Amino acid sequence: MAGWGPLCDLSFGDLLLFVPAKDSRLLVVGQVRPTTTQTLYRTDHIGLFSRNRPHVSEALASGNAVQGTIDREDVDEPVQVRAVPIRHNGLIVAALVNERVWASGRGPGTLEAAYLGVVERLFSMVADGSFPYPFDDPTSEGSPRVGDGVIVLDAKGKVEYTSPNAVSALHRTGFHANAVGRNVTDIGLPRDVLRTAFGLRAPLIHDLERGDRVAIQMRLLPLLDQGRAAGALVLMRDISDIRRQELLLVSMDATIREIHHRVKNNLQTVSSLLRLQGRRVTEPAAKTALDEASRRIRSIALVHEVLSRDGGDDVALGDVVSPVVQMVQGALMDPDRPVTITIDGEGPIVPAEVASSLAVILTELIQNAVEHGFPVRAGQNDRRVTVTMSTKRGTLRIRVLDNGIGLSPGFNIDDDPGLGLTIIKTLATADLGGTFLLENHHDGQGALATLTVEL
């Protein structure tokens, strides 16, 4: 059905796909309305059964295309019907039906005659199984349609017909002469594109560009006669505005990346200044506070570093967690008392503001696990911290588990005066709208911190 657009528009009629059902009934399984004329079907017929379809029944039974007319109460003129059998592996499995109305007493104009001539060839290709093309991807919403512009070529690549919209598109490229009778190369379509389409017996897309301001997309559909290339249908669309928007988006993306890069540099500069200040401070409490502030700022800088590299407004949480762990290991680890930190799970893709809050929370949790879970007096040799990330039904759960000494008896997180836990609780509940729980592990060894966030 994705390839029905040209058939529907060139024939000025509706397309229905029928398959045989039980009790001699016919079932509609496909429907496409034209964009070049008014549809005969305002309602959706897919899923409806029908019996009174003699042309369809004859096409399915005989294996030949059948044409005729039917009278409908809601239409003043007779409806012209064409039913073409559809084969798969030699078996007739369906019938493609084209229905259109042509006012009596009026012959087709030049455009209509050209379109109907091409559609006759396409319906012949439907009958012999060469249309829709086996190697084609017509599903793109931006692909040219018949209403955008039509050029008809003969087997030698000469122009037989150009629609008014196609003439306008050619004018945009600087071609102002009459294209009829000209070679395809004169209008800007390379001959090797035509040869390739004929050789592959499949459509090709070619973009005709004139500087930075004009871009015309051409979709070339080979017209086949008993498997041999006998001409081509070229659909044209002016995509100049789309290209300009794409260039603008690329420029905007580069600008956003540069902003994130500069923010990262500025945050790293502030972090470095805090570290320098910490080296000059002799008071242990002040030195610790400056070092912790420096790490918190660096954790936010890591998020902007990922954004400056990948672009966009979202980041993969795993790309943030790994450098956070490396940062904490480099800042807190004592070579004589190493702690193994492992990450389990990759984590989802989250917005940048969520990633920044999670980075700060993880920095605090890992720092607390290393500093408070393994005091020197414990004399522990095997020191491990595991960060686990999992997502289920839109809920992110992060667990930080250590095998240290655990929480002291009677510990209450609401009574803890530490700045680190205060930051964690504030970010978890106020900024992320989640929950945070800190408790001893059920096996009695180590502490377990659990953060739950609805994404």
Q: Do domains 5-127 and 146-238 have the same CATH topology?
A: yes
Report if pTM > 0.75: no
**How far is residue 163's CA from residue 109's CA, in Å, rounded to a whole number?**
12
CATH 3.40.50.2300 fits 328-455, yes or no: no
Considering the chain, what percentage of its residues have pLDDT values greater than 90?
32
Residues 434 and 354 sit within 8 Å (Cβ to Cβ): no
Length of the chain equals: 455
Q: Is the pLDDT of residue 376 over 70?
A: no
Determine the average pLDDT of the residues in 415-431.
Answer: 83
Q: What are 379-412's pLDDT values in tens digits? A: 667 888 999 999 988 899 999 999 888 888 878 8
Per-residue pLDDT, averaged over 296-315, amounts to 78
Torsions phi, psi for 145 (to 5 deg): -115, 170
DSSP one-letter string for 72-114: -TT-SSPEEEEEEEEEETTEEEEEEEEEEE--TT----HHHHH
* Per-residue model confidence (pLDDT) at position 326: 83
Secondary structure tally for the chain: helices H, strands E = 10, 18
pLDDT of residue 434: 92
Strands 384-392 and 159-162, bridge-based pairing: unpaired
Measured CA to CA, the distance from residue 21 to residue 27 in angstroms comes to 6
Q: How far is CA 136 from the centre of its chain?
A: 19
Q: How far is Cα 42 from Cα 26, in angstroms, rounded to an integer?
A: 20
Range picked from 145-154, 204-213, 287-296 for highest mean pLDDT? 145-154
Residue 119 in contact with residue 10, Cβ under 8 Å?
A: yes
Domain spanning 146-238: CATH superfamily: PAS domain (3.30.450.20)
Domain limits, the chain:
5-127, 146-238, 241-312, 328-455
What is the model's pLDDT at position 223? 94
Ranked by mean pLDDT, the top range of 70-74, 80-84, 301-305, 350-354 is 80-84
Question: What pLDDT score does 417 carry?
Answer: 67
pLDDT at 107 over 70: no
pLDDT confidence of residue 54: 92
CATH number corresponding to 5-127: 3.30.450.280
What are the tokens at 136?
């084609």
* pLDDT over 70, % of the chain: 94
